[in-house]
Structure 1
Amino acid sequence: MGHLRLLGHQINEKRVRRLVRLMGQEPVYPKPRLSVPGQGVTRYPYLLRERALSAPNEVWSTNITYIPMAKGILYLVAVLDWHSRYVLSWELSNTLDVGFCLSALDAALALQPAPYIFNSDQGSQFTSQLFEQALLAAGCQISRDRRGQATDNAFIERLWRSVKWECVYLNPATDGGQLYEQLRAYFGYYNHQLPYQGLKGKTPAQIFAQTPTFSPQPICLTNPS
């Protein structure tokens, strides 16, 4: 407002808010937290601290973010392989119920064997009995981010940054159909064409396909005699 006043415009905060609202503009800032846990949930530890990743399907993680459109928002969930940064599946929804998260999980499990560890934040979708039972039935060890530790799921947070700054913010979609097509094209580019510095210049798809999948080592019991 100070800049406008220096240019000679008679302006105040109330008028700015009214004009911005009339234009349908919305500032880009984080929405309210999406990782609020449900009531009476089973507590699981964070299993990835200082863990050295060795292969695809060792660790998958998931998260939800909001995607702004020209008018309104939709919610995006993805399942990411940590070792390769490969996006296994993703889904859009206009609500935050657990259904679209389960759909993304089912799509990932249809593509690859279940991971050794599956990590998420403590959002009510991922701490729900439906999601927990799906992971246990698949044979996963469940890991959850520690509260207040934003870096626990750093790889997928970095993915959201790339999706928004390289795709969404450049050309805001007018509706869900257009957004779906934009994301489908972007994730194809991200997986198969985008060299990743952390992968020594290779794409997520190259690392995912070329590295042998993770196989837990059997525990050897020695005979005390």
Structure 2
Amino acid sequence: MVSKDHKLSMRRQCALLMLSRSNLYYEPKGESAENLRFMAIIDKQFLETPWYGSRQMARFMKRNSHQCGRHRVRRLMRLMRLVPIYQEPNTSKKHPQHKIWPYLLRNAVIDRPNQVWCADITYIPMRRGFLYLVAIMDWYSRKVLAWRLSNSMDADFCVEALKEALMKHGKPEIFNSDQGSQFTSGAWIDVLIDAKVKISMDGKGAWRDNRMIERLWRSLKYECVYLNAFETGSEMRAGIGKWLTYYNSERPHSTHGILTPNEADANKTEPMRLAA
């Protein structure tokens, strides 16, 4: 006869297996085929004109004969985390009950790896859906330290990426992010506090700090995502992983001349000074 404790253990194992399978396959986020098509158009245009709000984007859609009114454009842009740079200093939705930490980088000189890390989340289109991608980046070298895909905006996938980056690369002195709910969540903050990392968050007038990781998204989408039209989450994970390996090890970054992010991580060049 099977004991109650044994039954409970089997149930827990089954639950963990289901969770692991869910994380492995990354089921795409569900939207209609028409909305997915509109989202792909909006995403590409926003890379070119990041100051477009829903009104300007709706005008763009109308001028290009896409039947997508402002209300739908607004909803899709919110779903994709697209906020024009002149409206807010970040592209994330704040949580009203989460603490906002002060901005620590004004006039800072960033001149070495592991001095400052940053993170951001972006929408990644698929042929029949979309996922969200988070990346942890070293500010000085521009090296991508860890990344994760998810079909939801829960903080869990961000926390997993953060833990991997800390495990593989040590810890930064400061971690800077926007004020999105994922980066103000208790789980995220607890990891940084436990690692004794200073926490910095973009405030008004600091939106320019996000430009470097936005350039990463632009390059990734034009050089990888848009060219492949991935069918499944596993295909997307493999494709993005291959491109990020190329980005870190083979693709020279304009900030460091002919050096790749991996080489900049190991070589000291001219320090970067942030504007006031």
What's the TM-score, normalizing by structure 2?
Answer: 0.66
**2:107 pairs with 50, 57, 65, which one?**
50
Quick one: which of 140, 149, 159 aligns to 2:216?
159
Q: Deviations over 1:4-35 (max 9, x none)?
A: xxxxxxxxxxxxxxxx839x733422431351
Q: Match of 1:141, as an amino acid?
A: K
Paired residue type of 1:137: D
Q: Which residue of 1 aligns with 2:42?
A: 29
Pick from 73, 79, 85: which aligns with 2:130? 73
How far apart, in 2, do the equivalents of 1:204 and 1:95 lie?
Answer: 29
Q: Is the 8 A contact 1:146 1:152 kept in 2?
A: no
Matching residue of 1:108:
165
1:158, CA displacement in angstroms? 1.2
CA–CA separation in structure 2 for the residues paired with 1:56 and 1:143: 17
Using the alignment, how far apart are the partners of 2:168 and 2:204 within structure 1? 31
Letter in 2 for 1:199: H
Please say which of residues 155-164 and 96-105 is displaced more in the overlay: 155-164
Report the alpha carbon displacement of residue 49 of structure 1 after superposing the two structures with TM: 2.2
Q: Distance in 2 between matches of 1:197 and 1:114?
A: 25
- Equivalent pair of 2:253/2:260 in contact (CA under 8 Å): yes
User: Would you say the 8 A contact 2:174–2:199 is kept in 1?
Assistant: yes
Give SS of 1:169's match.
Answer: helix
**Structure 2 equivalent of residue 201 of structure 1:** 258
Write the distance in 2 (CA, Å) between the matches of 1:25 and 1:96. Answer: 21
Q: What is the match of residue 6 of structure 1?
A: none
Amino acid at match of 2:241: R
Cα displacement (A) at 1:164: 0.8
Q: Provide the rounded CA distance (Å) in 1 between the counterparts of 2:183 and 2:34.
A: 35
Using the alignment, how far apart are the partners of 1:174 and 1:94 within structure 2? 14
Please tell me the root mean square deviation across aligned C-alpha atoms, in Å. Answer: 1.9
Gaps of 5+ in 1: 1-19, 213-225
Decide which of 216, 226, 230 is 1:169's aligned counterpart. Answer: 226
- CA drift at 1:169: 1.0
User: Is the aligned partner of 1:180 residue 2:193?
Assistant: no
**In the alignment, what sits opposite 1:15?**
none
How high is the TM-score relative to the length of structure 1? 0.80
Residue identity in the other structure for 2:174? I
For residue 125 of structure 1, give the secondary structure of its aligned residue in structure 2: helix
Residue identity (%): 43
Cα offset, 1:211, TM superposition: 4.0
- Indicate if the aligned counterparts of 1:78 and 1:89 stay in contact, CA closer than 8 A: yes
* Residue matched to 1:136: 193
Q: Which stretch of the first structure deviates more once superposed, 34-43 or 64-73?
A: 34-43
Alignment of 1:202-217 (within 5 A): 202-211=259-268
Equivalent residue pairs, number: 192
- Counterparts of 1:93 and 1:198 in 2: how far apart (Å)? 30
Larger Rg: 1
For residues 127 and 69 of structure 1, the distance between their equivalents in structure 2, rounded to whole angstroms, comes to 28
CA distance in structure 1 between the partners assigned to 2:102 and 2:168 by the alignment: 27
